Structure 1
Amino acid sequence: MKAVVMTGTGDPSVLQVVEQGEPQLQQPTDIKVQLHAAGINPVDTKLRQRGVFFEDALPAILGCDGTGTVVETGEQTTRLKVGDRVWFCHGGLGREPGNYAEYTVLPEAVARPLPDAIDFTTAAAGPLVLITAWEALYDRARLHKGQSVLIHAGAGGVGHVAIQLAKLAGARVITTVSDDDKAEFVRQLGADKVINYQKENLVEAVMELSKGYGVDVAFDTVGPAVFNQTLSVITHYGQLVTLLDPGKEVDWSVARQRNLSISLELMLTPMLTDLPQARAHQGEILDRCAGYLHSEQLKLHVSKTLPLAEAAQAHQLIEQGHTRGKIVLQTGV
């Protein structure tokens, strides 16, 4: 089969297309999937630059998000059969092979049924960002109807689904973008108010939009500088969830004076530390999201599709930082 292999750490040129044997079932509860598409996430580019999570794991196949058709099942599988359409977030971190390939093997429990009405390419854009946004907003922040939420980088992979999940919860959404085209894009997703951080002061804009109250919940997908700014726009006893390390320069006195709850979100934890109950919960999230996608209450935006052999170009595009939604590799039929 064809696969894109990370041969070392560095720029996108370390991603090489190779021919190798198809993976084989390792456990009686495994399934083999012919991959149709693989989502590209920023974590893929970071692993390529800095190294994967496990030692002595190179060469490695990246890519956590995959969709495809079951072509073989282990003797102890119970839910899925040959021919079933599936989507999942599995592998790509250095231990198990990822999805920049034509085939993969994974535990049956991790793969979730994909409704016929959802095409493989669109679905491949979803698992990691959907689980991330769901866990951040619903599990960590307990976002509910009537609350206000600030979602940073609303046009990005996580941001564009976070806006929609927040609206499904009945929240009022304020989001940040970098240009007018992205502003129009997030309005179409349901954002109530949009802040162009290139033209407006974040703190002043949020406080004006909230009439001095601040937001009940904030979701930081950007990093330390934005995290620090955001502390000042959350109302007393509010919630801040971040995907990234806040850094060493945080003025925690602001959070303390406001009695804020600070949460960290890393949806990769169950994969890194083998937490079956957490993996099962993430599977349930995908099942719920499949229902929302099928009923068109939720949409995944794929800004560009590329063939498997152009994975390096996909990484370059993500690192330029101007992508709306997601980029997807078409890995097979």
Structure 2
Amino acid sequence: MLDRTRRAALAGAHAIPVPRTMYAAAMDRFGEPAVLTGHALPVPTIDPGEVLIAVDTSGVGPWDIDVRLGRFAGRRPHFPIVPGVDGAGIVVAVGSRVRRLKVGDEVYSYSWGNPKGGFYAEYVAVPVNNVAPIPKWLDLQHAGAIATTGLTALQGIDDALRLRKGETIIIHGASGGVGTLAVQFAKLRGARVFATASGIEGVELVREMGADAVVDGKRVVDIDDRARAFAPEGVDAVLALAGGDALGQCLDALRPNGRVAHPNGIEPAPRKRRGIALTRYDAVAGVREFEHLNEAVQAAKLKVPIAERYSLAKAHKAHLRLEAGEVLGKIVLTVHGT
């Protein structure tokens, strides 16, 4: 991370010197984690509606694996490719049309398919509408962990499911980066939360996040019975953050006319059932969306579990860890770490 002395200096600066080149974890081809290697690349230039961020922390998520494997690539990908869709840092330059942010601001950002490169780098150029001041409750490292997962969790609870006070919800896959936040946002909205998690440690973590009842989704065979004991008339909603047979049991516990939502990318995705409203969604970044997230983070006094931290030079090891499974919370890269 940026050390305190440097952070203080940057935050108080009106103009910050920016080098011509930067270190990045980039790839020259698609493939296994080892394709992520250190590169010396030009620092991206900014357009009038963009900001340049000195990255402190970059998030690592399953979508990064898809990018590394070329699943979203066009016919003629331009290498080297710098992955990373979210992170946090300090604004070091602003475009001529930018008024909302200034040099020295501590910010976080989610920007999918960024044409000038992702967050696995010392610097990233991002459209200003995809950038926001970090929540007052969080530091740069924890803000850098939640841009994607926070928007995904909150928009699942508030927009896709429209969860209301007094309702019951199953959050399936609650011990991951999205799920640990979704539990807290559901409790913030006044819901009763039944959650599934991975392993004993995952169950304990999700309890710490505030879930009313938690089961090990990979080992408990009667999830539907336990959910019905939790909500005898059936649960009102399911937020599906993982697939598999256990998800089917969660859906069996829904009341008639219940609601189901899941982010795109969940495999296998839940199938539509008669009498059940099913919503697929993607996290949306924008000025209002980040304002809404910041308000929720502050109101919930959000806890952000960091599963593991890796230096930028060890981005390939972060991907290996992610592929190993049962990640509790979020993996991050400390871009200015060692």
TM-score of the superposed pair, with normalisation by structure 2:
0.86
Q: Specify every segment of 5 or more residues in structure 1 that has no aligned partner in the other structure, as ranges.
A: 268-277
Q: Give the superposition deviation at 1:162.
A: 0.4
1:284 Cα shift?
Answer: 2.5
Partner of 2:194: 174
Give 3-state SS (helix, strand or coil) of 1:100's partner: coil
The answer on 1:78 being equivalent to 2:106 is no
* Residue pairs, 1:224-263, within 5 angstroms: 224-244=244-264, 252=272, 255-256=273-274, 259-263=275-279
Match 1:320 to one of 314, 320, 324: 324
Inter-CA distance 54–96: structure 2 relative to 1 (3 Å threshold): farther
Q: Does 1:265 align with 2:269?
A: no
Specify the code of the residue in structure 1 equivalent to 2:312: L
Residue pair 1:9, 1:51 contacting (<8 A) in 2 also: no
CA 1:20–1:200: 2 relative to 1, 3 Å: same
Q: Residue in 1 aligned with 2:90?
A: 69
Q: Compared with structure 1, are the counterparts of its residues 55 and 119 closer, same or farther at alpha carbon in structure 2 (3 Å cutoff)?
A: farther
Return the offset for 1:166: 0.2
Give 2:203's aligned amino acid: A
The residue that corresponds to 1:6 in the other structure is 27
The answer (yes or no) to whether the contact 1:223–1:245 under 8 Å persists in 2 is: no
Question: Hey, what's the Cα distance between the residues in 2 that align with 1:122 and 1:174?
Answer: 25
Partner of 2:160: 140
Matching residue of 1:131: 151
Q: Write out per-residue CA displacement over residues 260-285 of structure 1, whole angstroms, 9 at most, x where no aligned residue.
A: 10010222xxxxxxxxxx543xx333
Deviates more, 1:36-45 or 1:222-231: 222-231
Distance 1:214 1:186, change over 3 A: same
1:234-268 residue CA offsets vs partner (Å, 9 max, x unmatched) = 1111101122467799775xx21xx110010222x
> Does structure 1 conserve the Cα–Cα contact (< 8 Å) formed by 2:58 and 2:86?
yes
CA distance in 2, matches of 1:196, 1:13: 32
Task: Specify the code of the residue in structure 2 equivalent to 1:322.
Answer: E
Which residue does 1:299 correspond to in 2?
303
Distance 1:170 1:248 in 2: 30
Aligned equivalent of 2:4: none
Deviates more, 1:115-124 or 1:290-299: 290-299
Pair 1:183–1:129, CA change in 2 (3 A):
same
Deviation at 1:158, TM superposition (A): 0.6
Counterpart selection for 2:290 from 254, 275, 286 = 286
* Identity score, percent: 29
Change (3 A) 1:249 1:187: closer
The 3 A distance-change label for structure 1 pair 100 and 190 is same
Counterpart-to-counterpart distance in 2, 1:304 and 1:246? 23
Mark the CA change 1:242 to 1:294 in structure 2 (over 3 Å): closer, same or farther. closer
Say if 1:293 and 1:241 are closer, same or farther in 2 by CA, change over 3 A: closer
1:94-243 equivalences under 5 Å are 95-115=115-135, 118-197=138-217, 198-211=219-232, 213-243=233-263
Indicate the larger mover: 160-169 or 179-188: 179-188
CA shift in 2, pair 1:75/1:55, >3 Å: same
TM-score by length of 1: 0.88
Aligned match of 2:109: 88
Offset of 1:53 from its aligned partner? 4.0
CA contact (8 A) 1:301 1:325 kept: yes
Secondary structure of the corresponding residue to residue 61 of structure 1: coil
Most deviating of 315-324 and 220-229: 220-229
1:39 aligns with 2:43: no
Distance in 2, matches of 1:107 and 1:42, equals 23
Alignment match, 1:273? none
Q: Which runs of 5+ in 2 are unaligned?
A: 1-21
The answer to whether the Cα contact below 8 Å between 1:9 and 1:49 also exists between their aligned partners in 2 is: yes
Q: Is the 8 A contact 1:34 1:332 kept in 2?
A: no
- For residues 35 and 249 of structure 1, the distance between their equivalents in structure 2, rounded to whole angstroms, comes to 34
Q: Is contact 2:261-2:279 (8 Å) kept?
A: yes
Distance in structure 2 (CA, Å) of the matches to 1:23 and 1:124:
20
The code of the aligned residue for 1:160 comes to T
Task: Read off the aligned partner of 2:277 and give its amino acid letter.
Answer: S
Partners of 1:250 and 1:194 in 2: CA distance: 21
> Number of residues paired by the alignment?
314
- Preserved contact between residue 223 and residue 244 of structure 1 (Cα < 8 Å): no
Q: Following the alignment from structure 1 to structure 2, what is the Cα–Cα distance between the partners of residues 180 and 263?
A: 30
Match of 2:313 among 304, 309, 318: 309
Secondary structure of 2:129's partner?
coil
Q: Which residue of 1 aligns with 2:334?
A: 330
**3-state secondary structure, aligned to 1:236:** strand
Q: Does the aligned pair in 1 maintain the 2:185–2:300 contact within 8 Å?
A: no
Check conservation: 1:304, 1:328, Cα contact below 8 A: yes
Query: Residue 119 of structure 1: CA displacement?
Result: 1.5
